[in-house]
Structure 1
Amino acid sequence: MPPDIDPDIICFKHCKSNIFTFTVPNHCPKCNQPLTEAENLCPFALPPIFVNATQTPCAVILRPSTGDFWSDFHNTTNLHIALTDADGSIVEFDQPGLTRTVARRVDRSRWGQCLLILQVPESWQYEWEQQLQHVVEDRGWRHRKYDEDRLNCFS
Structure 2
Amino acid sequence: MDKSVIRFSHCGRNIYCFSIPERCPQCGVGLGGRRLEEAPVSIPSPFSNGHKALCSFLIAPTEGHFVREFDGGSDLHTGITDTNGVVYNYTKTGVRRDEYGWERCISIPLVQPDMYNLINQWDRYLDKFSSAHMWDTQWQRFDEEKHNCYNFTLMFINCVLATEHKRALSKDEFTNAFVLPRIKRASKYSVLCREIAENHFYIVMDHKNRHGDHSEN
Normalising by structure 1, we get a TM-score of 0.79
1:33 and 2:11 matched = no
Look up the match of 1:138: 132
Deviations 1:45-85 (A, max 9, x none): 23342211111111111111111221111121111111100
- The amino acid that maps onto 2:20 is V
DSSP 3-state at the match of 1:145: coil
By percentage of residues, which structure has more strand?
Answer: 1
Tell me the number of residue pairs that the alignment of Structure 1 and Structure 2 aligns: 144
DSSP 3-state at the match of 2:143: coil
Deviations 1:23-54 (A, max 9, x none): 2234445x343352652252232334221111
Quote how far apart the aligned CAs of 1:141 are: 0.8
DSSP 3-state at the match of 2:150: coil
Quote how far apart the aligned CAs of 1:97 are: 1.3
The equivalences for 1:40-51 within 5 A come to: 40=36, 41-51=38-48
Q: Give the structure with higher Rg (CA).
A: 2
Matched-pair contact (CA < 8 Å) for 1:54–1:111: yes
Matched-pair contact (CA < 8 Å) for 1:53–1:112: yes
By percentage of residues, which structure has more helix?
Answer: 2
DSSP 3-state at the match of 1:80: strand
The equivalences for 1:103-142 within 5 A come to: 103=99, 106=100, 110-122=101-113, 123=115, 124-142=118-136
DSSP 3-state at the match of 1:147: coil
Structure 1: segments with no counterpart, 5+ residues: none
Deviations 1:83-104 (A, max 9, x none): 1000011100111111223x3x
Normalising by structure 2, we get a TM-score of 0.59
DSSP 3-state at the match of 2:47: coil
Look up the match of 2:51: 54
Quote how far apart the aligned CAs of 1:111 are: 0.9
Q: CA RMSD in A?
A: 2.2
Structure 2: segments with no counterpart, 5+ residues: 152-217
Between 1 and 2, higher relative CO (CA 8 Å, sep ≥ 6) is seen in 2
User: 43-52 vs 73-82, which deviates more?
Assistant: 43-52
Matched-pair contact (CA < 8 Å) for 1:14–1:28: yes
> Aligned in 2, Cα 1:97/1:18: closer, same or farther, shift over 3 Å?
same
Cα distance in structure 2, aligned partners of 1:131 and 1:75: 32
Kindly, what percent of the aligned residue pairs are identical? 26
